[in-house]
Structure 1
């Protein structure tokens, strides 16, 4: 299984009513994740291939020049598109946004009525993370790694996911990275992780506590997926 294309995401029932206004020729490109974002500097948090969903709250308050800069920042960061709800803050797409999207061939999608963003992200993420066989998993992972590499966002993605651990001295860094990888491979089964690492369960619990303290919540499926990707990217990064 490869990552779903933007066309596939928009074909999901939750996206019924979505209208593509620009970037139609890029609908076959893969979507790595879907984020709800209302900030003007969203580009700082992107790794490439993301589809952003917005009500336009901050865009409505911005100047025309800032709106153009916002759209161009999404293009330059490798985002896959912008979904804009035309309900509360906008009744139509501002001309400068639409023209910039068309000039840059950037996918701009609109809903002309209120939609539940939770439904959009849930449906999209279930499609992106659909269960797959080991061979499918390799294909899916390769597609995601390629998308990050093509946009040059690999290093920033690694730093964003693993930064506090990578800042440690060599030995503790290596120990925690190996433990994190083992936990992910064992779906956070402590006993199995301990056996695979050849250590006691107490050691795994202690390291997991350290990892959680440095990296935050490790329970969410999308967070674990991001860590798998970051670890694989790290292996491919020259020392």
Structure 2
């Protein structure tokens, strides 16, 4: 089960984070944690992310651009932003705080220097905890899997962390995985087919590797292809999979 934002904030690595607003949204689940300094980070989101920033670009932005940054994150599906108030920013700009309050968007700050590697490692260990072990058992033939009733377990083994996500990030990540597998992990081609920037594909690939582990071996890629095929043909055990089927049809 995915952790809530409050559960992430309760981790020892996050214990000094101060919540400024968005208290009513701390029960939202966190799907991933990204470190980002760009003001168009919303373009890379799948939904449910918690973003970490030093505020280097945010500090240079004009007041309206700062407000638009928070608006874009809230509307783009992010579930929170943490700003380190050390080097580039000493306090949260009023326009940032006002926009966050307007959307009841969780805004947190660290008032001392932190190691982002420690934060992301701790958060991702918690996010992936229920699905850390991945097994590759079972006959990778769709008919045999379905006939013997083993397809449900096979799907859970191969795609469990993604299938446990809410519908929006689940659909985005499955579509990206299918496209990458179909095109030998060609980032440029995947971006063209999905109609997104290359950086978006890199973001999603990082998340896929974190959730699924090995994506490089031919055997692992074969199992994932079979799992995606089973998901399209036998979507009986997971809800809202019609969205995934539509995305896969566009790709294929």
> Normalised by the shorter chain, which TM-score bucket?
0.5 to 0.7
Distance 1:25 1:44 in 2: 25
Kept after mapping to 1: 8 A contact 2:8/2:123: yes
The equivalent residue for 1:163 is 179
Indicate yes or no: 2:98 matched with 1:99: yes
TM-fit CA distance, 1:140:
5.6
The equivalent residue for 2:149 is none
Distance 2:211 2:179 in 1: 14
Q: 1:222 aligns with which of 194, 210, 225?
A: 210
Distance 1:31 1:211 in 2: 26
Quickly say closer, same or farther: Cα 1:232–1:55, change in 2 above 3 A: farther
Quickly say closer, same or farther: Cα 1:39–1:211, change in 2 above 3 A: closer
Quickly say closer, same or farther: Cα 1:56–1:211, change in 2 above 3 A: closer
Kept after mapping to 1: 8 A contact 2:22/2:101: yes
TM alignment of 1:118-137, pairs within 5 A: 118-132=117-131
TM-fit CA distance, 1:226:
11
Distance 1:159 1:85 in 2: 34
Kept after mapping to 2: 8 A contact 1:6/1:28: yes
TM-fit CA distance, 1:139:
7.9
Q: Runs of 5+ in structure 2 lacking a partner?
A: 135-152, 191-201, 216-223, 233-240
Indicate yes or no: 2:55 matched with 1:56: yes
The equivalent residue for 2:9 is 10
- Could you report, residue by residue, the CA deviation over 1:15-50 in whole angstroms, capped at 9, with x for unpaired residues? 121000011001111000000000011011100000
Normalised by the length of structure 1, the TM-score is 0.67
TM-fit CA distance, 1:160:
3.8
Distance 1:7 1:98 in 2: 20
Kept after mapping to 2: 8 A contact 1:37/1:52: yes
Give the secondary structure class of the aligned counterpart of 2:88: coil
Kept after mapping to 1: 8 A contact 2:100/2:106: yes
Distance 1:231 1:68 in 2: 40
Quickly say closer, same or farther: Cα 1:9–1:26, change in 2 above 3 A: same
The equivalent residue for 2:41 is 42
TM-fit CA distance, 1:110:
0.4
TM-fit CA distance, 1:130:
0.9
Distance 1:87 1:211 in 2: 38
What is the aligned residue count?
Answer: 189
TM alignment of 1:131-210, pairs within 5 A: 131-132=130-131, 141-144=162-165, 147=166, 149=167, 152=168, 156-166=172-182, 210=184
Quickly say closer, same or farther: Cα 1:232–1:82, change in 2 above 3 A: farther
The equivalent residue for 1:187 is none
Give the secondary structure class of the aligned counterpart of 1:130: helix
